[in-house]
Chain A
Amino acid sequence: MKSSQFKIRARQAVGDADLRSKIKKATGISLLKREQVVSEIADWEDLRRRAHELRKETVDNIDSYLRRFIESARRNNAIVHEADDHKTANKIIYDIIRRVSAHTVVKSKSMITEELHLNTMLEENGIRVIETDLGEYIVQLAGETPSHITAPALHKSKEDIARLFHEKLNIPYSDDPVKLTAVARERLRDEFLKARVGITGVNFATADTGTLTIVENEANARLCTTLPEVHIAIMSIEKIIPSFDDLPLFLKLLPRSASGQRMTSYVTCINGPRSYHNPDGPRQLHIVILDGGRKQLAKHPAWKEALYCIRCGACMNICPIYQSVGGHAYGSVYPGPIGSVITPTLFNMKDAQDLPFASSLCGACTDICPVKIDLHHHLLFERREIVNRGYKSSVEKIGMVLWRWIMLSPGRLEFAGRVGWFFRKLLGKNMPAPGWTPHRQFPRIPLRSFRSIMRSDKKHGK
C-alpha cells in the first residue's frame, strides 16, 4: 500500500457508503466520550500548554535526553539497542528472538512495529507472530493493516468480524461482541502462557528513571511484559519525556484524548527486568530504540512538531476527511491529520504529496490535539514545500499563475466572472469540472454578479 495512491483509494472509500457509516459511527462515539471527560477538567488548556512545552524541550534536546534515558535504563539492567534505520532495528529484534531459540512471539499493539513491518519480516524468517490486542488480532486474521492508531479494526462491522472468526477459527457464526471477545481470550491465553518472547511498544520513556510506560485496556500488554522470559520493548526516540514526575501529566492527557477514559484500565511502568528490586517479570528486558530519520526531523524548525505526537488518535476522529475516507486511504502507517504531517516529512514527500492536501484546513485537529501541535498550519506549509519542489503538474502551475493574474486586477476578475457565467448559461448542468461534477452539481451562477448589484444600488442611492 502506498501513499501515492491516495486519490484512487479516497475515491473508492467515499463511494463506499457502508464503510463511511462504520467510520462515522466509531469516530462519533469516541468524540462524545472524550468530550465528557475533557470538559470536567477546568485547566485542560493549561495542561495542553505544559505538555507542549515538555515535548518541545525533549525534541529540541533529543540527543541529551536520549543519552540520559539510555544511562538510566542500563542502570535498571535493561539491555539497550540503538538502531539508526528500520532495517537495523528489525535485524536486532530478529537476533534477540533467534538467540533464545523462540519460534513464536506474543505481541501487543504498537505503531512502531507497523512502521518497521516487523511481522512480515519475522514471518519471512519463520517466526510466528501473534497479535494479542483484540483489534490487531482481528486485523491480523483478516490479513489487513490497522485503519486507526488506537482502534485498528475500526473499519470492520461486527458482522464482518463474525464471518472472519467463523471462517478462520472454525467457530459457529456469532456477531455478539461478548462471544467474539471470549473466543479471542480463550485462544490467546494459551499462547501467552507458552510464549518465551513478548514484544510491546512504549508510550512514554522517562529519561531520569529509565521507566517504560505502556498504556492499555485489555491486559494483553501486561501479559506480554510479565509472562515471557524475554521482553522486547520497541520505541522511537521521541517517546522520551524528561522525568518520571512528568508522567502524571501525560497520563491525564492521553487516555482522555484517545478513548475518552479518565484512565485506561491498565498502565504498566516497567523499571527493569527481574532483579533484586523487581521480584518478577521477564529475565531479560531489551529496549530497541529507533531513530528512523527522526533526529534529522528534530532539527527542522517547524516540522519537528510532528515528533511531539503522543499517538492518541483524536485528530483522526475529528477530521472531516478521515471521517469520509477512513484510515486505509492514506496508505501510511499513520493516517489522519498527524499522518499527513508525519508521512511526507519523515518518510517520502514525493510519494505522500497528496496527503497534505487531504484537509479542509478547518483546524479541528489543531484544537483537539492534547499536545497542541499546529497540525493544519503544518499541512499548509507542507503544501508550499511540495509546490516548491516541483511535484505539481504544469497544468496546475499554469492554472495558478492565471488565477493570480486574474485576482490581481478588479477588471480582469469581473471579466473572468462574465466568461464563467456565459459558459454556465451555455452548458447548463453539463458544465464540466473534473473531480467535482461527477459527484456534485455545479452551483447555479446568479444572473447578476455581486459587483453589478453593488453598482446599480449605488446609482439608485441605496
Chain B
Amino acid sequence: MENKLLYRFQSRIQESGGWCEISASGDGISDILNSKYMFEKEKIVISGRVAKELQLSGLPGMCIDEVKPNNRRALLSEAKLGVTFCDGLIAETGTVVLINHPSEPRELSLLPEYHVVIAKQTQLYESLDKCFTKIKQLYPAGSIPSITLVSGPSRTSDIEKTLVIGVHGPVEFGVIIIGSR
C-alpha cells in the first residue's frame, strides 16, 4: 500500500514540474543535494526541523536557527536553496503540507530560488482529508498554525496559456523521501 502511494506521489510531483527522489537512509541526502546543486554553503539555508525531527546533521548549508530572526529575511532573499521538513505528503495530488513552525519560517520555502523538502515515507497520506484529520488531532482547536500546501514550482499560464515555471516563488521544487520502494 505504502509503495503504491509513494509511486503515485512521485509521478504527480513530476507531472507538475517538480522532482522527487527516494533515499534509502538519511545518509544519502547530502549526496543527492550535492549532485543537484553546487552552491556555496552560505547560499543554502536549512530548516531547524531537519536536524531535530529527522536527526539529520552535516547537510551542506547553514541552519536557520543559527540566524537571528531580524537577519533572516535579508539572508533568505539572497539564498539560492531553502531546505525544509514537512508535515505530510499527499499522494493523490502530489502535494507537500507545510505547517508554520519557529524553526521553519514561511520565507524559507518562499524566497530562495530553489526549494527542497525532506520527508519520511511514513508521512504519506492518500488524500488531503486524511492529512487534515491528523492535523486537527495534533493541534487543539483554535491553535492550528497557518498551513501552506505546495504542489510544484511557482508557475503561470497568463501569457497565451503558455506554461512558464518560476514567477514569484521558487523556480524549482524537489522532494527527497527517506524510505524504500
Contact = CB atoms under 8 A, between A and B. Distances in A.
A30 B151 contact: no
Nearest to A247: B132
A251 B164 contact: no
B149 A263 contact: yes
Contacts of A153: 158-159
Interface string A175-195: 001101110110011001100
Contact of A262 (B77, B92, B129, B154): B92
B146 A272 contact: yes
Nearest to A267: B149
Contact of A161 (B101, B159, B161): B159
Interface stretch (A116-124, A215-223, A386-394): A215-223
A123 B141 CA distance: 40
B145 A271 contact: yes
Chain A interface residue number, banded: 35 or more
Interface residues of B, number: 50
Interface string A16-41: 00000010011001100000000000
A219 B168 contact: yes
Interface string A211-232: 1000001111011001100000
Contacts of B73: 193, 227
Interface stretch (B22-30, B52-60, B103-111): B103-111
A377 interface: no
Given A247-B132, A261-B16, A280-B107, A219 B154 contact: yes
A203 interface: no
Given A135-B158, A280-B105, A181 B166 contact: yes
Contacts of B132: 244-245, 247-248
Contacts of A218: 154-156, 167-169
A279 B101 CA distance: 6
25 contacts: A76-B142, A135-B156, A151-B158, A152-B158, A177-B164, A178-B164, A182-B166, A189-B168, A217-B154, A217-B157, A218-B154, A218-B155, A226-B107, A227-B107, A244-B132, A245-B129, A245-B132, A247-B128, A248-B132, A249-B129, A261-B16, A262-B12, A263-B149, A280-B100, A281-B106
Given A138-B158, A245-B129, A261-B151, 15 more contacts: A25-B161, A26-B161, A135-B156, A135-B158, A181-B167, A182-B166, A184-B167, A217-B157, A219-B154, A219-B167, A222-B106, A248-B127, A264-B151, A267-B149, A271-B146
